[in-house]
Amino acid sequence: MLKDKRIAIFNIANKRSIAWAIAQSMDAQGARLILGYQNERTKASVEDLSKELTNKPLAIIPCDVAYQEQIEQVQEAIKAEAGTIHGLVHCLAFAPKEALQNPYLFTEREDFITALEISTYSLVALARGLTPVFSNQGSITTLTYYGSEKVMPNYNVMGVAKAALEASVRYLAYDLGPAGVRVNAISAGPINTVAARGVAGFLDILEVHEQKAPLKRTVESREVGDTAAFLASDLASGITGEVIYVDTGYNIMGF
Ligand SMILES: NC(=O)c1ccc[n+]([C@@H]2O[C@H](COP(=O)([O-])OP(=O)(O)OC[C@H]3O[C@@H](n4cnc5c(N)ncnc54)[C@H](O)[C@@H]3O)[C@@H](O)[C@H]2O)c1
């Protein structure tokens, strides 16, 4: 499905990262990957994991989205190592811990700005930074969560960041559509990762999800990875500006 496609994925932290599941699904479909890591702390883990892939990654590169110059360096690295790409996966987010445990009412200005900058603006910055290295057809996929639409206790400012992310998907889809670049989001059900465990009470969210979702289970990160592979493929050539739920059906329930 992804043979001859070069796709950049930002960022993998460890084997539980959704970005790693996406890398595995895309690798299984024949993609050639560029893998991103945030800092020296996660570099070795990405290098180790990459040995499990069938196709050796084209590059493994640092990308801390807090720094505009790093986004520019990513563009340079992609040009040098891959020439052009057909896909970008934005799979990263951050909010300070206090903002994910105190009432939303008490969100500090600085924490609000950090969450929105890292989790939302980074999609705009990466899309703008990397469209010059996109081949004439391309796809951008980001990861969101249902807490953007409904209140999930303690998800707080991250819910606000995800709402802005989903709106950004629609505006970017409009801007980039004429260039043949599609932009979509996957709304994944809760998965036990480092980022998710930062949300106070996350284990309760998992338990309730399992009870209420029509499929009576939580989603596997492989299922999110497979959907990301589909969205990056030509099979999804008519889909842009959408939020696709991969949540074992949880979002359709009213009670
Ligand atoms: N796990 C879930 O339940 C769930 C559900 C829906 C959506 N998501 C989303 O999936 C994405 C990936 O998260 P995950 O759950 O795999 O957790 P994770 O902790 O494995 O991944 C988060 C990634 O964000 C990166 N990151 C944080 N700050 C960064 C910065 N300044 N610059 C660059 N990278 C930075 C980290 O290095 C890490 O690789 C996030 O957008 C998250 O909101 C997660």
Tens digits of residue pLDDT in 192-238: 999 999 999 999 999 999 999 999 999 999 999 999 999 999 999 99
Distance 18 CA to ligand 1 centre (A): 7
- Interatomic CA distance for residues 239 and 233, integer angstroms: 11
% residues pLDDT > 70 (the chain)? 100
- Interatomic CA distance for residues 32 and 26, integer angstroms: 8
Sign of CA dihedral 230, 73, 60, 78: positive
Residue 145 known to be catalytic: yes
Cis upstream peptide for 251 (omega within 30°): no
Residue 174 known to be catalytic: no
Going from the C-alpha of 145 to that of each of 4, 195, 249, the distances in angstroms are: 30, 12, 13
Token reading at 2: 């992804």
Task: Give the model's confidence band at 32: pLDDT under 50 very low, under 70 low, under 90 confident, else very high.
Answer: very high
pLDDT tens, position by position, 154-202: 999 999 999 999 999 999 999 999 999 999 999 999 999 999 999 999 9
pLDDT of residue 136: 84
Distance 174 CA to ligand 1 centre (A): 25
- Interatomic CA distance for residues 67 and 181, integer angstroms: 25
Residue 137 pLDDT greater than 90, yes or no: no
- Interatomic CA distance for residues 161 and 226, integer angstroms: 25
Going along the chain from its start, the domains and CATH numbers come out as 6-247 (3.40.50.720)
Which of 37, 67, 121, 155 is catalytic? The answer is 155
Contact 201, 102 (CB under 8 A): no
Instruction: Tell me the three state secondary structure of residue 98.
Output: helix
Share the mean pLDDT of the chain.
97
- Interatomic CA distance for residues 8 and 36, integer angstroms: 7
121 lines ligand 1 (CB under 6 A): no
Give φ, ψ of 103 to 5 degrees: -55, 145
Q: How are strands ordered across the β-sheet holding 181-188?
A: 59-62, 32-37, 6-10, 85-90, 134-144, 181-188, 243-246
- Interatomic CA distance for residues 44 and 40, integer angstroms: 7
- According to DSSP, residue 241 is labeled S
pLDDT of residue 169: 99
